A and B are shown apart, each in its own frame.
Chain A
Amino acid sequence: MAREALRLNAAVHISRGPEGFGNYGILDLPDGPADRFDVACVLVSAGIKPRVAPHRLYRKLAAEFTARGIPVLRLDFVGMGDSEGELPETSMEDVYRLVQSGRHLVEVRAAMDQLQARHGTRRFLIGGLCGGAITGLLVAENDPRVVGLYSIGMPVVLVGHESTKKGELTESRLEAERQVIRNKALRLTTWARFLTFRSDYRLLWSVTRGTLWRALTGKRRTFSDAQPELPPDLDPNFVRAFFRLAEQRVPSLLLFGSNDHHLWEYKDKFVALWARRIATLTEVVHTHIVEGANHILGDPAWIAEARAVTGRWLDAQVLRVANQRATLALEIEEVRDEARFLQLREEWTDLLARSASNSVTLTWEWLTTWWQVYKAGRELRIVLVREGGRLIGAAPMLMRRGIRLSHGLVPTRRLELLASGEAVGHAICSDYINWIIENGREAEVSTAMLNQYSQHRDWDEMVLPDVPIDSPAVQALQAAARANGLVCEELEREACPYIVLPRSWDGYLQALGSSHRYRVRRALRDFEAVGGRYVVAETPEQVEEMMRILIDLHQARWTAKGELGAFGSKWRLGFHKALMPLALEKGWLRLGVLYAGEQAIGAIYNLVYDGRVYFYQSGIVPQESSTLRPGVLLHAHEITAAVEAGCREYDFLKRGESQYKESWARESRDLVRLRIARPSMHNTLTHVARRLRTRAGIVKRRIQARWS
């Protein structure tokens, strides 16, 4: 039996209501490093049972939210679960009745306030099963932060009401019971029970008297003569809050099991009375009935269906509506002019530092340098998002002039990220490029940016290569694209190995595999024995000289293998010649050369930015002595320097075919190539072309294998 593992990414939550009692909860978090969340979900305890809900239903459903970057707080009421305080009631009915009357609203609001304070959450989805559903509705009614109600088995009838105790059955319940009788009517055991006075005759009478009356008189008769227009046990708080929320255009999902009496009551005591009014609310009120299911959805198939519906509702209703609403207050600027781009340095740098995308390849310096070198045939299409004049988002995109053939077959107009899309052999390899969005604002800002691009019909696809898959901006962009009905696909993945730097070089060495540790120590010892020196450029003159050494060493090695080398292209060379002085000025450059005697045997080109070292390029002279390893020595010196400087990471960037990176680094993170497109004929053709090309590649390889 294949089952999805329950998530592990969770944190303990404690909030306090006005009475001072601690409400315990667990916050299920989305994957990734983000701790600011614009939207969060609060699933409120169903009543007596703790915050996981019956058979851990909330944990299973929470996965649909966290997969979309929405953390889920599962909260215990005061006096229940692990929470503090004690309830005075002694009967279950009293407890349920008081939950239904809204006793715990203030605790839920306190938990929301805490999420807002700790995680910057400004918008909430709220709800749960049964008592959690009604509590969520009553909170949502008066709290403008709530952007969606998520309800399972919503109770609409007052618990313990006198009229309920009389045993009047709803029409839906009667119909369900009639079906049961029809199913059992032909069984001998049924009649044996009936004839030996073991049947529930009261129920049988309730169920069959209408049918008997019709059979005898030919007329339809209602037996609940005393029933007023409004069912006396209908919860007036529910009715008021339901309409109030719907009229505020806040989306609701009402999930019911078809065998749950709450559904029968919802249909017969509420929907039947307000059918016309409810019919006008179908855009915001979505009801889904899980066929065969009971109140708690106690079967894997029912849960799977509930999860699928939840996911679709989140994508199509909540996230889209909530983000669209939030985008209304944002100011958008499109930058197509180079001069304007060049003016943005200060704002850009400030925003980058406030984002989770803060990488050297997204600095204004890197991107403008790249633009100056590669701008031919390209147009800037940067979208900036501001709120009250403050920059909170930048999508550094460009558009290729002219039409390109996608997969060699389909004419395509492509939007792509700045610092990407260079011709083969001329690429700078700008890993970790991305959209830049202020922490915690990813959902609404990416929606606003995507809306802006969608207004233009002059592009067929948007390609974002080498974006980190666990980045909040990328996750928000994917969610926004899907919510807007766009196709969003991950085309390729590649890992970037990296070292989480310890506090000391010795500490790092201890964590290495024994053979690699031996190689490193031996190389350092032998280097010292030959009087080797490692020199790092500190002045523009040294940069110029060492760059020449780096290029010579690198190119000599690669051209000898018949390859172009990283500096063999005039564009690449132009980029680095322009960038290095800027990087030196900013204190980002680490250009080092290894000397054995007077001979340069290796050179390395690293960038240090925001506590992270990026290994960009190197050049070495392979040594006859197998223990004097320039490649090992360069990294050993640079990692030592990074540790001493208090850096937190040493990143080898994309692994490519360099297996050696894994002997240095235990951790890795994935970069993906993301493609977003309109669901058009063009997109279909692109898919067909991609398949044809893949197929052709396989056939070609087979032919080559056969004839070689």
Chain B
Amino acid sequence: MSASAAAMSLREEAFFTPMGADRLFMFLHDAEQSQASVGVVLVHACAEEKHWAHRVYVNFGRSLAASGIPVLRFDVRGEGESSREFEDVDLDTRIEDTVAAVQTLAGRRPDLARIVLLGHRTGSMVAAGAAARLGAQVAGLALWDPVYDGREYLLQVLRQHLATQMATFGRVTTSREELLRQMDDGGWVYLEGYGFGGNFYRQLVASQWVRDPRVFERPVLIAEVGATASVKLSNRLAGLAAVHPQITPVAVREAPFWRETRDYHRSAPALGRVTRAWLEKLCA
């Protein structure tokens, strides 16, 4: 094992922040002599995608902090170490939590001139929602492989559920249509232990963040990820960038570190590079 370069000069703190009757777990990566004018709040992906990606988040936070940019990671309620259960929270609570995280970073580092939200997968939807709500307090938005369409994301989730049914029962016991109907009727579908349904399901399906002009009132980096060298921008992102000149669209070759693969992903170097370059440009 080798110490990360960041570990030498980092100042890190894990702590809980009250949120009404609940509390949020937060982790601040900072450097001893940081004089940066920008800080980053990282909004994680959802459910098991968050777990698989966790080490990438940690190391990206440490690498930015080592170069003087403080990064606040936090667990939304219903996930990680924060209070409540997954089934008791929705997109709105996630956005509230993100707003609280931004306020926490601003409170701890009042010298920061800009705060950037970095969202990953469904965390991008949440970051976009929080940016729209916070207005000028969020100076930039970086989105890693964002979920544009909640329904498509859920269909992916349900595909995995069918695979789990096959593995567990040897057959599909409940079809995808039936599962969708269950969620429409207010029921729950458990995928790898996470209950999907209720408000979260309805809000994911209804989310129209790409059509919210408030999201694009600031520089926005959207990085789409593909595992092969031939990765290119999706038509959707190209179209979006044509409408909103603030968007910096990029297609990055990177392994899907938020999924279970044969490889152990401790960092996302290509995503890290483009994000760091964009941050530098933002501060210039």
Which residues of chain A have a CB within 8 Å of any CB of chain B? Answer: 1, 3, 5-6, 8, 10, 12, 14, 19-21, 24, 26, 48-50, 52, 54-57, 59, 78-82, 84-95, 176, 179-180, 183-184, 187, 259, 292, 294, 296-300, 303
Contact = CB atoms under 8 A, between A and B. Distances in A.
Pick the 9 closest A-B CB pairs, nearest first. Answer: A55-B193, A180-B170, A298-B193, A12-B14, A49-B51, A85-B1, A298-B192, A259-B168, A92-B264
Contacts of A184: 170-171
A91 B83 CA distance: 33
DSSP class of B's interface residues: helix, strand, loop or mixed? mixed
8 contacts: A6-B85, A26-B81, A54-B51, A81-B58, A87-B264, A183-B170, A184-B171, A187-B171
Given A10-B16, A24-B14, A54-B193, A88 B2 contact: yes
B197 to A, nearest CB: 9
B3 A85 contact: yes
Contacts of A59: 81
Contacts of A299: 190, 193
Given A54-B193, A296-B193, A86 B51 contact: no
Interface string B172-193: 0000000000000000101111
A19 B4 CA distance: 13
A507 to B, nearest CB: 21
A90 B266 CA distance: 9
B230 to A, nearest CB: 23
A154 B87 CA distance: 29
A82 B14 contact: yes
Contact of B54 (A49, A297, A303): A49
A187 B166 CA distance: 15
B264 A55 contact: no
Given A82-B58, A86-B4, A3 B48 contact: no
A93 B262 contact: yes
Interface string B254-273: 00000011111010000000
B153 interface: no
B262 A92 contact: yes
B83 A54 contact: no
Interface in B135-181: 164, 167-171
Contact of B263 (A1, A20, A90): A90
B278 interface: no
Contacts of A8: 22-23, 83
Contacts of B190: 298-300
B88 to A, nearest CB: 7
A423 B29 CA distance: 64
Interface in B1-51: 1-4, 7, 14-16, 22-23, 25, 27, 47-48, 51
Contact of A298 (B27, B79, B164): B164
A78 B1 contact: yes
Contacts of A79: 1, 55, 266
A6 B22 CA distance: 10
Given A55-B194, A184-B171, A92 B263 contact: yes
Contacts of B191: 298
Contacts of A3: 85, 87-88
Contacts of B226: none
Contacts of B48: 54-55
Given A12-B15, A54-B192, A84 B3 contact: yes
Contacts of B109: none
A707 B217 CA distance: 76
B86 to A, nearest CB: 7
Given A54-B192, A86-B2, A91-B263, A5 B81 contact: no
Interface in B49-67: 51-52, 54-55, 58-59
B168 A294 contact: yes
A187 B172 CA distance: 12
A292 B263 CA distance: 29
B79 A84 contact: no
B1 A87 contact: yes
Nearest to B13: A12
Contacts of B264: 48, 87, 89-92, 94-95
Contact of B51 (A50, A84, A176): A50
A488 B41 CA distance: 50
Contacts of B85: 3, 5-6
Contacts of A48: 51-52, 55, 264
A48 B56 CA distance: 12
A21 B1 CA distance: 10
Contacts of A93: 262
Contacts of A21: 1, 3, 7
Given A56-B193, A95-B264, A297-B193, 4 more contacts: A48-B264, A55-B192, A56-B86, A86-B1
Given A8-B22, A294-B164, A88 B1 contact: yes
Nearest to A24: B14
Given A84-B7, A298-B164, A55 B86 contact: yes
